[in-house]
Structure 1
């Protein structure tokens, strides 16, 4: 089996495992987190949207964001995870890649991966296993079905 990275991710956390065997335990290399993704919408918006003043009079309106703040933070974390994967591929830390997570977040990560890295992607598992044990993740990600 080629050296494989298994990235298990959700909107606020990503766990990275290295697998060298389909049956032996994987090694957990890193556990990344993005606390802002877990924050309440009110806390994320603490900086507040911009203000717009009426041309005439004293009216002030707050501009609403077009993107849901939680989605924006999840996308920012997806980009961070993708950059981490990109650097690892560029330094030959893995030969094959498996992504595990809910489809929406995995789609965000894939959007930020470059073509050479996407070529290493051998499997996607559409399941949120972020809190699962290593054996459960390994069985879903790399063991033959």
Structure 2
């Protein structure tokens, strides 16, 4: 039997857990951080755009969204790799509401089919035992 993976994420931080038996504690197997996604918009915009050269209608959310999309791509690539290597056969996702949709949109179809449940909550700061309480009793 292969493991169940649990990904908890927000737009700049993610933790990946594995559980191999029902009701067993979560084992953290990976941690991902993208500090650029936490940067202020003005820090993400190039000097050229900041000085007024270029689009005056710059959408202030675009740079942050761009970083979140990059992070979603990075995480989906990691999940795809785990699936291809046969490291898990079921996937649970708990992600911040604003990030969950981005992440799901970047999953390839075979990996998306392994998603058993997705919870719209940011659990990234919790201890594994507290994260476990937000998941079904039997994984």
CA–CA separation in structure 2 for the residues paired with 1:125 and 1:19: 17
For structure 2, the residue ranges without an aligned partner over 5 or more in a row are none
Tell me by how many angstroms 1:134 deviates. Answer: 0.4
Runs of 4+ in 1 over 3 A off after TM superposition: 46-51, 64-67
- In the comparison of the two structures, how many residue pairs are matched? 136
Task: Tell me which of the two structures has the higher relative contact order, counting C-alpha pairs closer than 8 angstroms and 6 or more residues apart.
Answer: 2
Q: Which residue of 1 aligns with 2:118?
A: 124
CA–CA separation in structure 1 for the residues paired with 2:48 and 2:88: 41
- Considering only aligned residues, what root-mean-square deviation do their CA atoms show, in Å? 2.1
How do 1:1-145 residues align onto structure 2 when only pairs under 5 Å count?
Answer: 3-49=3-49, 61-63=53-55, 64-66=57-59, 68-144=62-138
Tell me by how many angstroms 1:47 deviates. Answer: 4.5
Kept after mapping to 1: 8 A contact 2:2/2:87: no
Deviates more, 1:88-97 or 1:135-144: 135-144
The structure number with the bigger radius of gyration is 1
For structure 1, the residue ranges without an aligned partner over 5 or more in a row are 52-59
Deviates more, 1:64-73 or 1:4-13: 64-73
CA–CA separation in structure 2 for the residues paired with 1:123 and 1:18: 15
Tell me by how many angstroms 1:102 deviates. Answer: 1.7
User: Deviation per CA, 1:84-105, whole angstroms, max 9, x where unpaired?
Assistant: 1111101111000000012221
